[in-house]
Structures are given as structure tokens and as C-alpha cells.
Amino acid sequence: MFAFVRFILIVKRKRIIFNFFKKIIAKTSDKESVSLSNLPEKAPEIVPEKSNSGLQPTVYTRTEHNISRKQISDHALKVLYRLKSEGYDAYLVGGCVRDLLLGLEPKDFDVATNATPEQVKAAFRNCRLIGRRFRLAHVFFGREIIEVATFRGAGDSDKAAPKVDSDGRLLRDNSYGTIEEDVMRRDFTVNALYYNIKDFSIVDYVGGMDDHRAGLIKLIGDPETRFREDPVRMIRLVRFAVKLGFSIDEKCEKPIFQVADLLANIPSARLHDESLKLFLSGKALSTFEMLRHYGLFQYLYPSAEKSLSVEEHDFPKQLIVKALENTDTRIAAGKSIAPYFLISTFLWDSVKKGADKNLAKGLPESVAYQHAASEVISKQVQSTAFPKHIGMAMRDVWGLQSRFSHRNGHRAYKLLEHPKFRAAYDFLLLRAETGGADKALAEWWTEFQSAGEAGQKKMVASLNRSYPKKNNRRRRKPAAKGVKND
């Protein structure tokens, strides 16, 4: 009897626990989860509201564009649907929409919403707010981060005089606003297309779809004004034109030559980040040529531009061009790229000239290159500042170039064990290919690496025979004055 009562109590207890968790799961499911498999296949008809700002959007329905939810990250969809379920507007915006329309795979997905950063954070436990002037919400899903930005406002009022700094650069306040105001704060028309999760349509306020179809990069608003607001837009204009294969609008080209010097006032750390995007996108050579065409490259790497302007026998232009071609080839093959290697080619001519001057002053070879490298790097970081480890790596690559000629004894073996030998060797091959180094020397090092132990000893021994022997006999000290030798 006691055992039966105990059994009944255990069953009731389990049933109570089961009902408790069932209620919790049901509430959580109703509030948070969105089943992607149960989403409607046909978009509901939504009539766009009239804007108070005078901007009337063109809405492209699902049947009028090629973006499918299957192309969108599941995590991005979760963010969009969560915001929608919380009663906020939510759009995919920027480069991800542009790339999806081109059939490309977006690097990341950005979301724009009328929810404030604090409201976004309240909707997602896996959210962190960043930024000071303009706060952004980062929603974390493992390694993938979905960036959520609140619609940006116009900042300064239309009647108020625009704020200008001492260098003539326009300043704008960062404030929250409406989607119409957010559109006007974006840079290019093809980057101002909004994918609406409510009806899967694309909302276009500035003719971005027409420019997209025409393959045209065009700024929103007056080009010169937008360049003065943020001079980095000139660099971004070149990067997107090359990356997408689009043409630059004629109205955007002329102001570049007039306000390009504003890039000199941009923080060097920011220009370094932009330069990496320029030259590590897989189209480095085309980007380099367009930057020089518009006179922008000189503000990124002034010493390289100076060397290019006085080139002799296509050097150092051929060295830089070949390095850019190799970079594009490696990226196309899915191989890794070391940024310091490409930057070292930009600055090599200045380092070599500085080292030659130091050698003429009687400095040892290694010291001459060290002093030249320090001088060139200290000047370069004023334009594009790079991390210390990049500068150290470039010093190694440059310094090892003079050591390749010294191969007798154990020097070849020691150089082979250097951590940056492979990068320095590739740099030597590049120089030899473009006429800046002895091809026979580069071939010797290529053979030396592949030769076995016996082969390496034989190669070094043949070199030792060709070097003149040093006279190791010590000179006899002269006898002291007043001392006679027996």
C-alpha cells in the first residue's frame, strides 16, 4: 500500500514539472522564436505611407527584384523578424542589398530600424552596444555579428548654417531620425536600397535601382558637399567603382580634383583601414591605377607617389605593379595575403635610396638600412598609420635584402632559418623579375632551398672557393723604444 501511494506521488510530481516547463516553452515560443519554414510564401500587400519630408519612395515588389530569403543569413532573418514582432520597422540596407541584387554573397548583413539602440538591446539578450557619438547594436550569433543601426537624423536643421572645421571640412551631428532622413545620410544611391521584411519589397528613395541597372556609381546630394562632409567618400567611390565594375557619374568626378587635399586631414589610422580594403579586395591593380588617375594615391602613400613621379627604366613602377598583380592572383586562388608585404613594395624605393645615402656616409650596411627604414616609416605613419607588427615585418624584409649576397660560410644557413626568410625571398624574386636585383642571385637561392644537405654544402663550398682568402696572420707588434732585441 505504501509503495502504491509513493508511486502516485511520483507520477503527480512529474506531471506538475512537465506542465511547468510546457508553459515556459509555450510563452518563449510565442514571444521570441520565428519558424522560418512557416513564413508566408506570398508577401502581403502593404501601401507605403506618405512621407512628410517630400521624398516619395519607389517600392519594388517581390516579383520585381531577384532577392530571395534563401540568400539571406538565417541570423539576419532572425533579427529582422524579432524587431518586426516587437512592433518596429526593420530593413536590410547597404552593401548586402547591393550585392544580393548582383548575385554576390554579402560579406555581412546590416539592419536599419526605427528602434533605439536601447530598445534593440532589450529585444536581444545576445546584444552589445558600441560607439559614442552614434551608438550601434551588435547582435552576436557565434562568430557572426549582425549590426543594427537606428535611422540617422538630418543633424543640422536646414535653416542653420552648416558647421565647418578649420580645414574646410563639413561637420554634421549624429542623431536619430526617420527612414527618409537616414537615406539622405548615406553616401551612394546603390547603397541606399532598403529590403523591407514586412512584404519582401525593396524601398528606393533616390533612384538606386535605376543606377544599379545602369552600372553607375552616384553620390546622394551635391558631390562636393558630400566629399567635404567625409573626404574618405572619394576613396570609397573608387573602391566601389572598381569592385562592382560600375562607372563613376560625371558630376562626381570633377569635385574630386578640387577637394582631394582634404584627405590629408583624415586620421592616419582610418586611412590605413581604408587602404587595406582598397588593395586586398582582389582588384588591387585596377584600384591603384584609378587612385592615381584622380590624384588620391599620393595622400595614402606620398613617398611612393614621389618615387613614381621620377621613375627610371619603369622602376619602381614595375615593382609595385607586379606586386599588385601577384596580390590579385593570390586572392583569386584563395591564398592568404600579408599586408606588410605589399606596403613594403610601396616604400622600397625610398628605403633603398635612403640606405645608399647612409652607405655613402660610411655607415655599415645593416645600420644603413635600419636608419633608412626608420626614417621612411616615421614619415609614412603620418599618412596611413599601421600597427607596430607590420612595421617590424617590413624592416625584416628590407634588411634581409642585403644579406642575400653574403652566402659564404654559415651565412646562407643562418639566413635560411630567419622567420621572415620566405617573405624576404619572395621580395628578392619580385625585385629580380622587375630588374631591381640580380636574377642569378635569385636563382641561386631558389636552388639552395630545394637542394638536399649534401647539395647545399656543395653550393656553399663552391662559393667559398670563389671568395679571396683572408690573411689571418697577426701583425707583429713593434718593439718598445729603448728595448733591444737579442
Residues annotated as part of the active site: 108, 110, 187
On whether the CB atoms of residues 246 and 271 are closer than 8 A, the answer is: no
Strand partners, 195: 92, 202
Give the per-residue SS3 of 361-429: CCCCHHHHHHHHHHHHHHHHCCCCCCCHHHHHHHHHHHHHHHHHHCCCCCHHHHHHCCCCHHHHHHHHH
β-strand 110-113 against 144-150: which pairing, if any? parallel
User: Using CA atoms, how far apart are residues 125 and 102, in angstroms rounded to an integer?
Assistant: 34
Cα 96 off chain centre by: 16
User: Using CA atoms, how far apart are residues 315 and 62, in angstroms rounded to an integer?
Assistant: 54
Nearest of 349, 330, 350 to residue 338 by alpha carbon = 330
Give helix 421-433 / helix 388-401 axis angle, nearest 10°: 60
Straight-line distance from the first to the last Cα atom of the chain, in angstroms, rounded to the nearest whole number: 128
Q: What is the CA radius of gyration of the chain?
A: 32
Cα 377 off chain centre by: 21
Cell readout for 380 is 609614412
User: Using CA atoms, how far apart are residues 381 and 194, in angstroms rounded to an integer?
Assistant: 38
On whether the CB atoms of residues 143 and 108 are closer than 8 A, the answer is: no
Angle at 237 between CA 232 and CA 239, to 5 degrees: 95
Cell readout for 367 is 645600420
Please compute, for residue 165, the number of CA atoms within 13 A of its CA located in the half-sphere on the CB side: 11
User: Using CA atoms, how far apart are residues 184 and 154, in angstroms rounded to an integer?
Assistant: 8
